[in-house]
Structure 1
């Protein structure tokens, strides 16, 4: 076996091992104008992300609309090709693989789309939609495709009798279950879920979230969950990455992030989460950020949050804060982190100078 063949062969991941890693991931969409379609700028949708996902865990990406969450998900599934950076899945660099080489990888990396209405072909029956992965990947089933599809429908809480029905005959929650069944057809190892419950009624959201958790336990799935509902994120996540204008500003385990947020943007987001306890709600300060989110075409220099941050100082406008570990498993990109001890503040200052 040549060196190239060895590098391109996926390596089995041990339980709790690193399934996916991202290093310096960048995606800029060019802006072209004129008769010759010359590039006059670029939308900096994702600008230098680095993180990893362990087998069996759920990493959630959160942030305001337009921060680059969905683009990141599409990069991880290679529905988009990165401008630069590296995506490594099971030890194999898939950043710039062609369609032919990516086809076998599609079995292991799948995506649940946000819109349960637009992600299903209205001209196809449920059986054809859920059975498509078997046909596209030339996968043989023990008792035929129809039987496999009906078993998948039962798995996600639908009836095998739905096999010959069309998407328009189902509710939003049922359509999302059909999409989940299609995603599970080839038993993937990694699932990128792009706001899987945001388009559903509140009464249905909990059902779908519980279904995803049950499936994760049963099939040892790994999730990258894209969401903006911080209440849902707290329920399903092991770790949470907070994004702002294409960058990760804070990355920590769920408990640490919700109880001791360090980046001012995270503090502001959490202050907006509804609290059912009236006493806690009365005592909590609601932080309202001033101004709109800057354009990703021309983001602010250095710290991208400094135009809306109440702690911003001159250094925030000139030096970009690196994403550094200020507590065990808790990374923050801020010169003046919230809830920081003197030692953590010193660490942030030293990182900015290095």
Structure 2
């Protein structure tokens, strides 16, 4: 196995909660609390979960737009966890981000040429035929007209604006792209076009993606592996087919059960899982398994002992005491701790 392009170990980000005139800290929002995963060169890792689970914060930590509270981020064998901004600047050529909102991520006072050409000027990168020609080539690459060079963002649709953002991201030929909800703000008809564009660019430019999304249909279409987050932690990580065909964590099953099914006959035959209660506050998350307050399979051990994220099948990691669809194992021989307790 070759060394992964990106390795994240026990990554945490706690935002302090302050109170009073002296801004005394009284708590912390545990937005990301011990996340670990790897991304291999050329693959696409999907990061999914409910709003507020820490997906976007994880993406911003990886690109060092936020300073991590703890853990390690290793990119191409280099630990960038606490690298100063001066040393981080050259690394940003290889690590870029596509933002969620194509309306607010583009400066309305700048032309498309200025926006897409900004990375060349900031990084002082010289091009063979000049910045204008390089920008026009990028616009053509993402499906826009090179003549759009002198237009402003307000003259474009949402899908076209997202293409402009993608062109800006590709300017310095990055190796890793963090795509934060790249199609959630777009119409359904445009979403497929942008997703297909990202796939075509990956094959053409040998890109590696971490795609952050809450739309499981989009993630299924574009991802090679999928990580499911809940309240700041990864609860399941597996190859795309294994996760969608045989989800093991109850939370993953609930997410997949909520995906709309267009066929009325299949919709009637499907068992719908309805979670009770609200998502707990990340300021005071539940002890042990954070999903136990909403889980229909929770038992006493779920409230007192946190389940480790461990492999229950080849390449299939799950953090659950009582997983579903888990392969059968002989009692006491490599069995899951919860299974051993159940047999004894």
Q: Which TM-score bucket, shorter chain as reference?
A: over 0.9
* Structure 2 SS opposite 1:52: strand
For the Cα contact (< 8 Å) 2:176–2:209, is it kept in 1? yes
Moved more, 126-135 or 334-343: 334-343
Give the alignment of 1:30-49 within 5 angstroms.
30-49=16-35
Q: Does 1:348 align with 2:340?
A: no
1:327 to 307, 313, 318: 313
* Structure 1 SS opposite 2:265: helix
**In structure 2, what is the Cα distance between the partners aligned to 1:352 and 1:172?**
53
Unaligned runs of 5+ in 1: 1-13
* Structure 2 SS opposite 1:342: coil
**Cα distance, 1:279 vs. partner?**
2.8
1:151 to 137, 140, 160: 137
Paired position in structure 1 for 2:189: 203
**Cα distance, 1:150 vs. partner?**
0.2
Paired position in structure 1 for 2:153: 167
For the Cα contact (< 8 Å) 2:312–2:327, is it kept in 1? no
1:276–1:337 Cα change, 3 Å: same
Paired position in structure 2 for 1:306: 292
* Structure 2 SS opposite 1:103: helix
Deviations 1:5-41 (A, max 9, x none): xxxxxxxxx9x64100000100000011112111100
For the Cα contact (< 8 Å) 1:337–1:345, is it kept in 2? no
Q: What is the TM-score with the length of structure 1 in the denominator? A: 0.93
Query: What is the alpha-carbon root mean square deviation over aligned residues?
Result: 1.5
**In structure 2, what is the Cα distance between the partners aligned to 1:195 and 1:122?**
21
**In structure 2, what is the Cα distance between the partners aligned to 1:280 and 1:345?**
37
Q: Does 1:85 align with 2:63?
A: no
> How many residues matched?
339
2:259 to 251, 273, 277: 273
Give the alignment of 1:68-147 within 5 angstroms.
68-147=54-133
* Structure 1 SS opposite 2:329: helix
1:338 to 304, 311, 324: 324
**Cα distance, 1:237 vs. partner?**
0.4
**Cα distance, 1:349 vs. partner?**
1.1
For the Cα contact (< 8 Å) 1:316–1:335, is it kept in 2? yes
2:15 to 29, 37, 41: 29
For the Cα contact (< 8 Å) 1:335–1:352, is it kept in 2? no
For the Cα contact (< 8 Å) 2:322–2:338, is it kept in 1? no
1:260–1:178 Cα change, 3 Å: same
Q: What is the TM-score with the length of structure 2 in the denominator? A: 0.96
**In structure 1, what is the Cα distance between the partners aligned to 2:259 and 2:116?**
36
For the Cα contact (< 8 Å) 2:331–2:339, is it kept in 1? no
Moved more, 190-199 or 267-276: 267-276
Unaligned runs of 5+ in 2: none
For the Cα contact (< 8 Å) 1:116–1:179, is it kept in 2? yes
Q: Does 1:190 align with 2:172?
A: no
**Cα distance, 1:278 vs. partner?**
3.0
For the Cα contact (< 8 Å) 1:113–1:193, is it kept in 2? yes
For the Cα contact (< 8 Å) 1:327–1:344, is it kept in 2? no
* Structure 2 SS opposite 1:18: coil
Deviations 1:229-277 (A, max 9, x none): 0001100000000000000000000000000000000000000112233
**In structure 1, what is the Cα distance between the partners aligned to 2:3 and 2:85?**
27
Deviations 1:150-199 (A, max 9, x none): 00000000001100000000000000000000000000000000000000
